[in-house]
């Protein structure tokens, strides 16, 4: 498929994000320093960052119309954050700009040897509080919105937005990177959740990874699916069945997950997805839900092309936002999101390598 024959864009699809924005100072080093070392960077880049800012930028480049609720200070960092987002097509008209304090910033050390990154974050101050978002601004921000996304920051304001979005029956995607204050309340409103590898077990205290996914869907009755991102190992998704599937065969979720992993094709370099049939999935001591399990793989990026994994999870989320708005089934959504994330890893910084919808690497996935 050529870029000329791409399917039409989701028409006027608006996503509203609420969360963190920052400035990233990215320094690439030959290898991570030892204590008390003095070393030189091999490259340096300064650009916008923050989970919600990165995911919104990704969504904009893929063709959605993102709006963002966040807060910056009226300092050089804050002005740069707004200018960069606006240049990428992100609507920043619902930002709060403080005349005092500081905007968020992060020092990112990118290790060329291990292909890892270390982040040292300084939060913005003063923090965003619900009283700064008027009711009229909230209603305007939600007007015509197809989906709302929260990265777990600014939890008090996020909860106000989530309650109004739920009242309007707008689907909600919540990122669960790690346990945070107020995240439990946000997850109660979630239609979709995307988690880090360690979050499901930490949050549910379930004895295994797979049983934790069952526990999440049982604890969160509004949740349609949960995706767990696993870096170069791909992702796992558990989707709740819509009709209940009372006649479906019951299977142990851990056994099913292991069987899917055995049949995935590790020889392929591009992202793929395999899935179970709709069935009753059980976890001993946890319970049973009816649904489907999906195993997605990541692109095998040649070492010579892998530059920086900063923001890969944010890119994945931005791509999932696009896929949901476009009505992609999971079998198509997971490889597409993995490819978007992998494309971004080929350049320094969370946003430098984020692809446009017409990028040749994405054409076959669309």
Structural element, H or E, at residue 240: strand 235-240
pLDDT of residue 77: 96
**Are the C-beta atoms of residues 170 and 163 closer than 8 Å to each other?**
no
Q: What is the mean pLDDT of the chain?
A: 94
* Residue 123 to residue 121: CA distance in whole angstroms: 6
Q: Dump pLDDT digits (tens) for 216-252.
A: 999 999 999 999 999 999 999 999 998 765 677 899 9
The confidence score (pLDDT) of residue 4 equals: 56
User: E strand or H helix at 338, and its extent?
Assistant: helix 330-344
- Interval 269-317: pLDDT, tens: 999 999 999 999 999 999 999 999 999 999 999 999 999 999 999 999 9
The distance between the two most distant Cα atoms of the chain, rounded to a whole number of Å, is 65
- What integer pLDDT is reported at residue 148 of this predicted model? 98
Give the residue ranges of the chain where pLDDT is below 70.
Answer: 1-6, 9-11, 244-246
Q: Where are the alpha helices (DSSP H) in 31-172?
A: 51-62, 76-87, 135-142, 155-167
What is d(CA 225, CA 297) in angstroms, rounded to the nearest whole number?
18
pLDDT cut 70: percent of the chain above it: 96
8 Å CB contact between 73 and 103: yes
The pLDDT value recorded for residue 352 is 96
DSSP 189-205: T-SEEEE-TTHHHHHH-
Query: What gap in Å lies between CA 268 and CA 364, rounded to an integer?
Result: 15
**Structure pTM?**
0.94
């Amino acid at each position: 498929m050529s870029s000329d024959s791409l399917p039409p864009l989701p028409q006027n699809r608006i996503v509203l994000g609420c969360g963190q924005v920052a400035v990233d100072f990215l320094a690439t080093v030959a290898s991570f320093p030892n204590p008390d070392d003095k070393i030189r960077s091999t490259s340096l880049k300064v650009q916008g960052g923050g989970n919600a800012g990165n995911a919104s930028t990704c969504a904009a480049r893929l063709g959605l119309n993102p709006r963002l609720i966040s807060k910056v200070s009226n300092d050089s960092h804050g002005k740069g954050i707004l200018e960069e987002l606006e240049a990428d097509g992100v609507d920043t008209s619902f930002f709060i700009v403080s005349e005092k304090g500081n905007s968020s910033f992060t020092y990112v050390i990118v290790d060329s040897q291990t292909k890892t990154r270390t982040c040292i974050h300084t939060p913005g101050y003063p923090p965003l509080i619900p009283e700064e978002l008027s009711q009229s601004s909230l209603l305007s921000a939600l007007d015509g919105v197809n989906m709302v996304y929260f990265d777990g920051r600014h939890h008090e304001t996020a909860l106000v937005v989530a309650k109004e979005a739920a009242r309007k029956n707008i689907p909600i995607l919540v990122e669960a990177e790690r346990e945070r204050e107020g995240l439990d309340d946000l997850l109660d409103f979630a239609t979709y959740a995307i988690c880090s590898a360690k979050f499901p077990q930490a949050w549910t205290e379930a004895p295994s990874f797979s049983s934790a996914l069952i526990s999440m869907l049982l604890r969160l009755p509004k949740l349609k699916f949960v995706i767990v991102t696993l870096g170069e190992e791909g992702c796992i998704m558990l989707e709740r069945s819509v009709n209940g599937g009372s006649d479906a065969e019951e299977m142990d979720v851990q056994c099913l997950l292991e069987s899917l992993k055995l049949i995935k094709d590790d020889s392929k370099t591009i992202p793929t997805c395999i899935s179970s049939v709709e069935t009753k999935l059980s976890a001993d001591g946890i319970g049973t839900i009816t649904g489907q399990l999906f195993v997605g793989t990541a692109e095998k990026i040649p070492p010579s092309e892998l530059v920086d994994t900063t923001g890969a999870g944010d890119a994945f989320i931005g791509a999932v936002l696009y896929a949901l708005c476009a009505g992609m089934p999971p079998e198509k959504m997971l490889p597409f999101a993995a490819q978007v994330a992998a494309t971004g890893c080929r350049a320094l910084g969370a946003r430098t390598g984020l692809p446009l919808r017409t990028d040749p690497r994405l054409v076959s996935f669309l």
